[in-house]
Structure 1
Amino acid sequence: METNQSVTSDFTLMGLFNHSGPHLALFSLVAATFTMGLLGNAILIFLIHTDARLHTPMYFLLSQLSLLDVGFLLVTIPKMAADFLEEEGTISFGGCAAQMFFLMLIGVSEGVLLSLMSYDRYIAVCHPLHYPVLMRRQVCLLMVGTSWLSGVLVASIQTSITLHFPYCASRTVDHFFCELPALLKLSCADTSAYELALSISGVLILVLPLSLIATSYSHVLGAVLHMHSAEARHKAFTTCSSHITVVGLFYGAAVFMYMVPGTYHTPQQDNVVSLFYSLITPMLNPLIYSLRNREVQMALVRILFRTGFRSKR
């Protein structure tokens, strides 16, 4: 066992692409998607911060979702792009630990936040008269604090346990960033007990928020079907369907990675799923959720109009 352990603390990331023609085109597509995701989320955060009409609980929670999505993009894609351009994939032990910690923090926080946002929609649709009280500023801050604290707690525990395992001489991670399942495959020690505990905790971390989401939207659906106004029904359905779409994209990838045992999916499938939730979903979220929303569009028009008016003066 001692002789199999690595004498260096660095890891090597396999990356997604080699330098062949088709892979260069795919890399360009990833770079464009990254730019779109970063720009879309940054615009959304800016609009919500600057436009007083968007200073509502729903948009405050959406700004936090965009902040987490920016985190997903920045933690994974720049390192992958740098490795591709420099044609090397080494990452230090500390860098690997930081990447794994922040990814876990952001992922858990976003999962909890999405479930709490479903509660916001439940209150808005089912108890609109009580909405200002039930979703007052203190409650919103408590929701956001709970999501971030959950992420920090889970990330601290999982990262510290994972990095305490001894790692074998071949420290090549068959992935494009340091993710917990990929790292466990390199350990010289028997990690089966920890993987079982990880699956159980993964079920709790994923199933509890999903249960809240399912409960909230079952009540919302019932309330929407009983609405007499077609316009109110359409507005409620549009807002809630956007949220359900985002939840489906995020949780679908998370369930595959952390609830399906590693023996049932290949490293290639892991790469695709990880790329999906670290790049595709953060790029789609502002488009699905907010930038097609009329209130957000009007806020963008007002900002552009004010900017144009100032430049003319």
Structure 2
Amino acid sequence: MSHRKYGFITIGWVFLMGMSVWVVFTHAAPPEDLFVLKCPLPFADKTVHHTIDAECSLSGLTESETGDDPDSHLQQNRAKNNLCAPDPAVPITVNLFDHLQGAVEEKEIPFGNQHIPNPEPLPDNRSVLKNLVQTANGISVGEGTNVVFAAFVLRTKVAGKESVNCEFTGKEANDIHIVLAMKPTDNECDSITAEMVPHFRPPSWGKITVQSTLAQLRKHPVRITGQMFFDASHSPCHHPEFRVQGDPKRRSLWEIHPVYKIDVCKNKTLAGCKVDKESVWKSFDAWVKNPQ
């Protein structure tokens, strides 16, 4: 057979029982991604395409199953998927997470466990979450700010299905939660959360949930770069409405979510791992090839 392709059609001669027959073969066009960004991926050099990128949009589920107030729910989903927070990343400390939580409570911005009867509504105007507090250097920080933070990893886990990921199941289609703390022995209620979203996630990042890798990673501080996000679907440990069922243990509802970059320190103390000292940091992608 001789043939030639034109787009998604192949035409050619087929020789059948001594006769030549002109045949047209059609090919299905590859699906266009529903998850569309208006910026370059922050980890473009490491990314791979996942099924969820083609089948689940920035907003996740868009039907009535998102809840009584689907618009605020979809706003939160889109914020969770923001991979476009602009550079440069602002260095922050653990105290900033507390200040941000305090600012939310002072301004009476709604939040709360969504798995209890008559839960608090999600914020219907997320612009109030931007530029809520200032760092010691006078830089405004809030939802949508690109930040960089150093801490120890207490544990990691793959999240269950969520509307933001269109209720897909499995590790490849769900977030990876990273529990961060100032000391490896800290109580989880003193922790901070970072999350890796599944969209275009580099394959090496999934190794952070492997126990043998995690055992080595716990010995070194990590440097997490990504967007500040307010997770209004829960209550933090200190809050009177905190519930073990449905509320992850943490000091603040402010997360680094999505993670844009993760690095591992060559040293084993936070004092020896300043976020702005590039010589002590190694990308997770390189470190995980020989974790030690």
Q: TM-score, normalised by structure 2?
A: 0.29
The structure richer in strand per residue is 2
Larger radius of gyration: 2
The structure richer in helix per residue is 1
Higher relative contact order (CA 8 A, sep 6+): 1
